[in-house]
Amino acid sequence: MEDDDQFDDESPGESGLNDYHPYWCAFCGEENEVFIDGAAFAHSSTQRFTEDCAVCCRPNLITVRSERDGSVSMDVTREYDA
């Protein structure tokens, strides 16, 4: 992968809240999946959390934005540099 610092999953309309979304580990590049719970967006259109990679176990910092059309966009970065 060329950009180790950030991977985007920005595909409006494909899937939205209360659905599983793929992301690629910012450390090893392996595909993972995370469930985006719509209830978490009751007070904010942006959520940030850490998700460990299922392959290399390193922590990915995931920022999810809920768009007005119901779709979501994700930014994935390394929680720390290793």
Q: What is the pLDDT of residue 1?
A: 39
Find the helix or strand (DSSP H, E) in which 8 lies: strand 7-10
Find the helix or strand (DSSP H, E) in which 42 lies: none
In a domain, 20, yes or no: yes
Integer-rounded Cα Rg, in Å, for the chain is 12
Lowest mean pLDDT among 6-10, 35-39, 46-50, 75-79: 6-10
In a domain, 1, yes or no: no
Q: Tell me how many domains the chain contains.
A: 1
In a domain, 2, yes or no: no
* Range(s) of the domain holding residue 13: 7-78
In a domain, 66, yes or no: yes
Q: In whole angstroms, give the CA distance from residue 51 to residue 6.
A: 14
12-70 tens-digit pLDDT: 334 578 889 999 999 999 999 999 888 878 778 899 999 999 999 999 999 999 888 87
